[in-house]
Amino acid sequence: MAEAQKMAVSDEVAIQITGMNKWYGQFHVLRDIDMTVNRGERIVICGPSGSGKSTLIRCINRLEEHQSGHIVVDGTELTSDLKNIDKVRSEVGMVFQHFNLFPHLTILENCTLAPIWVRKIPKKEAEETAMHFLRKVKIPEQANKYPGQLSGGQQQRVAIARSLCMRPRIMLFDEPTSALDPEMIKEVLDTMIELAQEGMTMLCVTHEMGFAQAVANRVIFMDKGQIVEQNEPKEFFSNPQSDRTKLFLSQILGH
């Protein structure tokens, strides 16, 4: 935990969300969200199922549209302007629960596709970058295989490498380990911890409380579409304030 505090957080704002609301039809899924994320912050978002965690981080790269309030990512406000959306998406990486690799492309092609077509980087250079990140997630030898030939943990590490190849300034993780067998969770978490130590701005929806304690500098607890409590991990776990948080923590840590 001491280590977590060491990692630098700057004053520069990376994500600013103010008064944001979202509805699915009549259902008010996100209510009055206010949140500021500084560059270099590692934020863990937790909360009961259906509390809107996924929806919140998916609003940050506009996979979901919000209906009121403002979301500003790296100085670009997310509106219906496609240029802004493309700009934000190319700067924000996202890792999904079910990896969502492209099964018809090799691992290397998965990693070079977006740099080549979105960033217009020459193929050769994109491949070098891809190999660099595949080495970093420790699976360079799988580069020419297809996703279907890899284990879940390996696929998730490829998904992380694929995002990193776009050189994002912010990374979003939506329950990256919850579809994995226990023995593979560690290899993915190790990769994420390494990323955190390099100063990546990260928002991570996860129930891995060990991870939260090791790298997060802030834990956000959500319930019923609202941010109920946020605090630094030590305080959050040892001294939760709201009853909902206490109940939630007792449920996930209790047994």
Partner 1 sequence: MAESFVRKEMLEAQAPPASQAGAIAWVRENLFSGPLNTILTLLGIVVIYWLISTSLPWWLNGVWNASSLSECRSIVAASAGEGATGACWAMLRERWHQFIFGFYPPESYWRPILAFVLLFVALAPVLFTSVPRKALWFTAIYPALCFWLLWGGPIWTPIVAMMGFVILGLAVVYLSSYLGAPGSAAAGVVAAVLWWLFLQGPVAGFLASNLPFGLASVNSDRFGGFLLAITIGVTAIGCSLPIGIILALGRQSNMVIVKALSVAFIEFIRGVPLITLLFTASLLLQYFLPPNTNFDIILRVIILVTFFAAAYLAEVIRGGLAALPRGQYEAADALGLDYWQAQRLIILPQALKISIPGIVSSFIGLFKDTTLVAFVGLMDPLKGVTQIVRADMNWKGIYWEPYIFVGAIFFIICFGMSRYSMYLERKLKTDHR
Ligand X SMILES: Nc1ncnc2c1ncn2[C@@H]1O[C@H](COP(=O)(O)OP(=O)(O)OP(=O)(O)O)[C@@H](O)[C@H]1O
Chosen residue from 50, 75, 122, 210 binding ligand X by CB under 6 A: 50
| Residue found by looking up tokens 């701005």 in the block | 201
Q: Which stretch binds partner 1 (CB under 8 A): 17-25, 36-44, 102-110, 182-190?
A: 102-110
149 forms part of the interface with partner 1 (CB under 8 A) = yes
Nearer to partner 1, 34 or 86 (CB): 86
**What is the Rg, in whole angstroms, of the alpha carbon atoms belonging to the chain?**
18
DSSP 255: -
Chosen residue from 4, 14, 20, 29 binding ligand X by CB under 6 A: 29
Q: How far is the CB of 5 from partner 1 (least distance, A)?
A: 31
Contact, 253 vs 221, CB < 8 A?
A: no
76 forms part of the interface with partner 1 (CB under 8 A) = no
CB within 8 Å of 24: residues ≥ 6 apart: none
Q: How far is the CB of 189 from partner 1 (least distance, A)?
A: 21
SS3 state at 229: strand
| Residue 129 contact partner, candidates Mg ion, ligand X, partner 1, none, CB within 5 to 8 A by sort of partner | none
The site map against partner 1 for 43-72 (x = CB under 8 A) is ------------------x-x---------
Task: Provide DSSP, 81-115.
Answer: -HHHHHHHHHHEEEE-TT----TTS-HHHHHHHHH
CB within 8 Å of 67: residues ≥ 6 apart: 21, 22, 23
The site map against partner 1 for 111-130 (x = CB under 8 A) is --xx--xx------------
Reading the block at residue 48, the tokens are 């009961």
Distances (CA, A) of 186 to 99, 154, 157, 234: 16, 11, 11, 22
93 forms part of the interface with partner 1 (CB under 8 A) = yes
Contact, 198 vs 227, CB < 8 A?
A: no
55 forms part of the interface with ligand X (CB under 6 A) = yes
CA atoms within 13 A on the CB side of 13: 12
| Residue 211 contact partner, candidates partner 1, Mg ion, ligand X, none, CB within 5 to 8 A by sort of partner | none
Nearer to Mg ion, 29 or 196 (CB): 29
| Residue 52 contact partner, candidates partner 1, Mg ion, ligand X, none, CB within 5 to 8 A by sort of partner | ligand X
CA 244 to chain centre: 24
Q: How far is the CB of 230 from ligand X (least distance, A)?
A: 16
Q: How far is the CB of 191 from partner 1 (least distance, A)?
A: 18
Binding residues for partner 1, per CB under 8 A? 61, 63, 82, 86, 89-90, 92-94, 96, 98-104, 113-114, 117-118, 146, 148-149, 162-163, 166
